[in-house]
Amino acid sequence: MGSSQPILKHVYLEGELVSLRPQSNSDAATLFPLVHKQAAVLDMLVWTGPNCMEDLEELYSLWRLRDESSPSSARDYFFVIRHRESGRPAGNCGVRFVEATAAGRERVGNIGYWLGEEFWGAGLMSEAVRLLVWLSFEHLAAASVEAKCLSVNMGSQRVLEKCGFLRDANYQQIAADHGPHSGVCELRFELTREEYLHGEKNGERFTPASAHVETYD
């Protein structure tokens, strides 16, 4: 883990149920109805959602696969989750590698995601998370991958456990001290590289149906 982390120029991942492609501003029009004032989705997130489509477009303008002005420092990878059967965008997901705040934390990927309610219960989110995990360990030299979710979000907890994540029993904090999630606890789940490789050895290896990952020369 001593070498510099790879910086990816382009990523396209495909599973059996979903595909992940880089986010663009034009996706806002399709995804806005799936999240705007959608209580079933937003009640499970700390994010309160966009007030208008312009808010979502502005957010997506910040969610670029790379920072074109300084690609050597790019650390965020955000994607549209596309439902393969219908061809429709179904939500967002991504992995971020933030600056180290403690020794040994410099290669921790933080994943986040949301999915439109009409796409729940079909295994789409589990596969999208597996694709992010595969990308993080196989192409981004992650030491571990973490995800945080609200204690009331049982669906997200099941997704993470299904994908091999373990809950951090030492981590629990209040998600917000005001607003709709006031007093609700936030939980942390983690999958280490060692656990990921152990799963591979036990025949639990996940590989995309198709993948195109391009790095900078």
The confidence score (pLDDT) of residue 60 equals 86
Q: So what's the pLDDT on residue 204?
A: 74
pLDDT of the residue at 46 = 81
Residue ranges of the chain with per-residue pLDDT less than 70: 1-3, 63-74, 98-106, 176-179, 201-203, 217
Which pLDDT belongs to residue 175? 77
- Residue 70, φ and ψ in degrees, nearest 5: -155, 70
Q: Output the pTM of the full model.
A: 0.90
98 DSSP assignment: P
Q: What is the pLDDT at residue 90?
A: 97
pLDDT value at residue 12: 97
pLDDT in the model for residue 5: 81
Specify the CATH number of the domain 8-147.
Answer: 3.40.630.30
Three-state DSSP string of the chain? CCCCCCCEEEEEEECCCEEEEECCHHHHHHHHHHHCCCHHHHCCCCCCCCCCHHHHHHHHHHCCCCCCCCHHHCCEEEEEEEECCCCEEEEEEEEEECCCCCCCCCCEEEEEEEECHHHCCCCHHHHHHHHHHHHHHHHCCCCEEEEEEECCCHHHHHHHHHCCCEEEEEEEEECECCCCCECCEEEEEEEEHHHHHHHHHCCCCCCCCEEEEEECC
Per-domain boundaries in the chain: 8-147
Phi-psi map region of 147: left, alpha, beta (phi>0 left; psi -120 to 50 alpha):
beta
pLDDT score at 202: 65
